[in-house]
Chain A
Amino acid sequence: MLRVKTVLVVLLLLILALDRAYAVTLTATVDRTEATLQDQILLTLSVEGTQSSEKPKLPATKSFDVLSRGSSTRMQIMNGQVSSSVDYNYLLLPKEAGTFEIGPATITHEGKTIASSTITLKIGSANSQPQSQEDLFITTSISTKTPYVNEQIIYTFRLYRRVKIANASLENPSFEGFRVEPLGEERQYETVVGGRTYAVTEIKQALFPTREGRIEIGSAKIQCDVAVRTRRRRGFFDDSFFGFSQTEPRVLRAPSLEVNVRPLPSEGKTPLFSGLVGTFAMETRVSKTQLEVGDTTTLDITIQGRGNIKDAQPPPFPSLSYFKVYDDKPALTVDTSGDAYGGTLTIKKALVPLEEGTLRVPLLTFTYFNPESEKYELCKSSPLTLQVLPSRDKEKLNLVEALGTTTSKEEIKILGKDILPLKTSLSALRPYDIHPWHWSYMIFFLVPMAGYAGAVVFTSRKKRWEEDLSYARSKTAMKEFNKRTVEVKKQITGKDASEFYRLTSKALKGFFGDKLNITGSALTPLEIEHQLHRYTRQKERIEQVKAVLNTLEAGQFAFQQHSTREKEDLLRTVKTLATFFDKRIKK
């Protein structure tokens, strides 16, 4: 039993849930199904059964502009049942005539997509006449339908109204194929159309066709909120005076326009043609007609007229030898106050006469196309002459100085290239031996090294001489011996015979003493013999030394008398022995 109850409860809950799911619906309604291009259609998408749904999606359409108008929520309690719904409002602005289908709009709720039904709308083309009967309408017009290229056309937009409007926004057509220049401020005035007084807002624009052929000017569109007069007075606060009057959005369209742009005629077109189309005049003026050479006068060229003055260029100014011309930036003043676009182009040139006398300012000319006469017309400046006086010296000097500081140096121009000339000096006939080998070079190379080697040897010997006494004695032994023998020679013929022997013995002993680095005078023949055995093996020489020393000893003390000849022989033997041992004994 309990089981059956449980099953029933579950079923009930399921049914309820299903019921809830099916309760959400989407309906699409319009305020009318037939309209014209000037009308707008209010589309309401109502989502019923929930308040928390997302915004419905409306498929994109080419034929209408869709404007969102907000949403409103409703809640109803009927017979104890609560139902809630959300209304989403859209304003459909038809763009073209015909029959169109709107929708279906869709909404996604709890994973399910709910679609509305589709609505068929019939849009008729805008009827021109009924406008005058309306309280609010717009018109557009152009001054000419067959302009020339670059000729200005005046595009006039007018808004006629008998009701109060707010938040008006004008959407101009794109004006493709035209250059657009605004023409003054918007004008407000009143006019009577069909016996009814309208307030008119007028906006003018100047259009300059940039190409020839048929060009369509798209339709102008204005969006605004219109105050609606309500039939029923609901209350005091509904009065418009308090700003609570009801408004209704409106979109107004003007029909598109078409112009047929003509090309400029080729007949009469000259190279002087400036490109200007309209009516123009030129004037020239100089600031002073009397001046000195080097002085400055200003030439004013004024081009004034109606038309495409923005295209105006300074007329060509011929280069003259007697004038230096400095150009200033042209100034353009646009005048849009009148019914047409125009203005003034002022060109200033500083003229510096370089010669004295009566100088003519050249005539300036250009042609423009006049669409009224349909002809090219010539514009000429008035002739001007300048009286130029010679300049004073001081000023001339200044001019020269100024030129001196400003002259820029020119780049050297390479006119051609060639090799440099021959070498014609006869020195070119002297052979130049590049080979770096010559005996003189070798000597030059070796001599310094040899010099250094010599210096090294010299210093080392000098050093030994100073440091080693035995060496020095040995080296000077022969020299000392020779000195002594000079004394001995004097004694050969002398009276004192023993003096000869004494000096000779002293010389010989001194020699051996120096050579052997022993005190010579104390040497005995035996000692000398003993020492000499170390230096030579020629015993006969040693014996000879011994014999000579003994002879000399004997001569000193035995009063032995020798002849002069014998003395000379003895001295010669002593010398020979000294020379012999000088070579043998080396330190």
Chain B
Amino acid sequence: MPNRKAFLTIFITALCFMCTLCTARSQVQSVPPSPDHISTEPLDAPSLFMEAHKNYAEGMYTQATLRYEKLIRSGIKNGEIYYNLGNSYFKMGMLGKAIVSYRLAEIYLPRDEDLKANLSYARQLTKDRIESKQFLPFINQFCFWYSTLNVRELLLVFLIAHLLFWCLAVIMIFWKNEYSNLTLLISLAVVVVLGASLALKLYNYSYATGGVVLAKEITVRSGNGINNTALFQLHDGAEFRVTKQEKGWLQIELADGKRGWVESRWAGTCRLDSWPPTAKD
């Protein structure tokens, strides 16, 4: 029965895929939450939220920022709150921090137009012009499901497609016609593509490598020490990819391919568990 064998293979592959997801999950969990994230004092979130708005409206951006940070540390993490935090940082003139916050908000709200507008405006204001050598720039347009859905939504879409595929497979045991094999193959392709997208998204999410310059001006050096040759300078808000982390230094790579090392204290990474930075930063 070759049909049965084929489905057994799919079944095993799917199980392996789920195992991969499990590993990704365990990676996410393995990062211990900083003590800062657990707030001991009881928190009146709605009033804190309203106060933060009030501060923002009155132009007291520092207070607003502190309140939004407190809300996030108390465990309320979502796109809106990261967006508001980004706005507060922006108004304080901290472009780099604003960009990190907006990028984190983007994980939750990939389709939010306000967020896109603010992020692109903040990027416009940065000093460094970095030519992007993006491979296949149309891929974002083409794989719209990848760029317009967040991880959870993509998972749900994948599961629905998965369910439909198996339903179709069951139906085909009892009832077959000339197109059924083709239909099954197409739905299998959809499931595979969605699964691959989900796996990629999860990978990018779990091993986020995006970084942003937080200081007014930093020097990128050829090695992880202050005595190394200065290669070039970056300014507040410049974005890069972290390729290695060592002794308080980050090896970075710009979109145009320039590489070097920067001190990690002047750079923010786009990871949900490391943002907002602790007060001493």
* A residues whose Cβ falls under 8 Å from a Cβ of B: 417-437, 441-442, 444-445, 448-449, 451-453, 455-456, 459
Contacts and interface: CB of A to CB of B under 8 A. Distances in A.
Contacts of A429: 45-46, 49, 71, 76, 81
B114 A420 contact: yes
Contacts of A456: 4, 7, 173
For A428, A436, A449, the residue with the greatest tally of chain B CB atoms inside 10 Å of its CB is A436
Interface stretch (B116-124, B126-134, B234-242, B248-256): B116-124
B163 A448 contact: yes
B77 A436 contact: no
B151 A436 contact: yes
Given A429-B45, A444-B159, A455-B173, 17 more contacts: A417-B121, A422-B53, A422-B87, A426-B49, A430-B76, A431-B75, A431-B78, A434-B151, A434-B205, A436-B21, A436-B25, A436-B151, A445-B159, A448-B166, A449-B14, A452-B169, A459-B173
Contacts of B22: 437
A419 B84 CA distance: 11
Nearest to B79: A432
Contacts of A445: 14, 18, 159, 162
Contacts of B80: 423, 425, 427-428
A428 B162 CA distance: 31
A283 to B, nearest CB: 61
Pick the 8 closest A-B CB pairs, nearest first.
Answer: A428-B80, A448-B166, A432-B78, A423-B80, A436-B155, A420-B114, A437-B25, A419-B118
14 contacts: A419-B90, A422-B56, A422-B87, A423-B114, A426-B49, A428-B84, A431-B75, A432-B152, A434-B272, A436-B151, A436-B198, A437-B21, A449-B166, A452-B11
A434 B107 contact: yes
Interface string B76-118: 1111110110010011000000000000000110000010011
Mostly helix, strand, loop or mixed at chain B's interface?
A: helix
Given A423-B84, A436-B202, A448-B163, A431 B77 contact: yes
Given A449-B11, A456-B4, A420 B78 contact: no
A427 B109 CA distance: 13
Contacts of A434: 77, 107-108, 150-152, 205, 272
Contacts of B45: 429
A432 B79 CA distance: 8
Specify which of B78, B79, B84, B87 lies most central, judged by the most chain A CB atoms within 10 Å of its CB.
B78
A428 B11 contact: no
A441 B14 contact: no
A418 B11 CA distance: 52
Contact of B159 (A418, A423, A433, A441): A441
Contact of B25 (A435, A448, A452): A435
Contacts of B174: 455, 459
Contacts of B159: 441, 444-445
Given A428-B49, A436-B152, A444-B163, A451 B170 contact: yes
Contacts of B25: 435-437
B31 interface: no
A220 B163 CA distance: 106
A431 B82 CA distance: 11
Contacts of B18: 442, 445
Give the interface size class of chain B.
35 or more
Contacts of B200: none
B167 interface: yes
A430 B166 contact: no
B142 to A, nearest CB: 23
Contacts of A424: 53
A285 to B, nearest CB: 59
Nearest to B10: A449
Contacts of A459: 173-174
Contacts of B11: 449, 452-453
Contacts of B81: 428-429
Given A442-B18, A459-B173, A452 B53 contact: no
Contacts of B170: 451-452, 455
A115 to B, nearest CB: 76
B57 to A, nearest CB: 8
A444 to B, nearest CB: 5
Contacts of A427: 80
B78 A428 contact: yes
A21 B232 CA distance: 88
Contacts of A452: 7, 11, 166, 169-170
B186 interface: no
Contacts of A428: 49, 78, 80-81, 84
Nearest to A420: B114
A10 to B, nearest CB: 93
Given A419-B121, A449-B11, A432 B108 contact: yes
A6 B77 CA distance: 132
Nearest to A428: B80
Given A448-B163, A449-B14, A449-B166, A426 B107 contact: no
B230 interface: no
B218 to A, nearest CB: 24
B166 A422 contact: no
A423 B81 CA distance: 8
Nearest to B163: A448
Interface in B139-173: 150-152, 155, 159, 162-163, 165-167, 169-170, 173
Contacts of A437: 21-22, 25
B255 to A, nearest CB: 23
A432 B152 CA distance: 10
A441 B76 CA distance: 22
B16 interface: no
B28 interface: yes
Contacts of B121: 417-419
A560 B202 CA distance: 82
Contacts of A425: 80
Contacts of B202: 436
B82 to A, nearest CB: 10
Contacts of A417: 121
Contacts of B4: 456
